[in-house]
Structure formats: structure tokens, C-alpha cells
Amino acid sequence: MGGALIPPDEAGPDDVVLSWEGADVVAVRLPQLADSLDHILAAMERKKGKPLADLDRKAKQEVVRILEARGAFAVRHGVETVAGALGVSRFTVYNYLNRDKDA
């Protein structure tokens, strides 16, 4: 996927921190636009600890913001793919995107 390994204390909110026996050992920083949106969504599910469709509305809005920052919606069928993963309609994803622009 083209990610970079960084020290866990330098990890940002979008980075994936990996732990071994309870201690954070390394963080993975994914590129802004990964080769596959499916890989990004799977990583987000692992980070959240449950399927994205099971998140509450606020958490789903956060996921959409993160994905937008990574360029996920520039990918063909990105909105449809994200909507399916979140268990919402395309219209809802567009509302989440527009809500951030209006704020």
C-alpha cells in the first residue's frame, strides 16, 4: 500500500499504531491516496475495533472526514464504496461531506 513506518510517539490521529504484548512498537502512516480504498476501509475497521457500519453517526462522520482528507472520494466509485462500508446511502455520505464544508 505504500505506507511508511514511524515511531509510535509520532503517530497522528490517522496513523495505525501496532502493539506487541501491550506495548506500542511502531506506527504505520498510509499514503494520502492508497492503491485500494478497500485496504483503507479495512484498516479503519481494525482501528475502530468493529465494522464501520456498526459505528454511531458521529463516528461515521469522522470516518468520512478522514477518508476525504486521504483523497478517497477522488477514486472512481469512492462514495458508493464508502457508503456500502458505512451501511448508509450515497446521499448520506454527500450530506456528511457537505456538512463539513458548511461548518
The three three-digit cell numbers of residue 19, written as one number = 502493539
Task: Sheet with 23-29: list strands edge to edge.
Answer: 4-6, 23-29, 16-20
> Residue 53 to residues 21, 80, 84, 101, 103: CA-CA distances in angstroms?
29, 14, 8, 23, 24
29-80 confidence digits (pLDDT tens): 876 554 578 888 998 999 999 999 999 999 999 999 999 988 888 777 889 9
pTM of the complete model: 0.63
52-62 confidence digits (pLDDT tens): 999 999 999 99
pLDDT of residue 75: 77
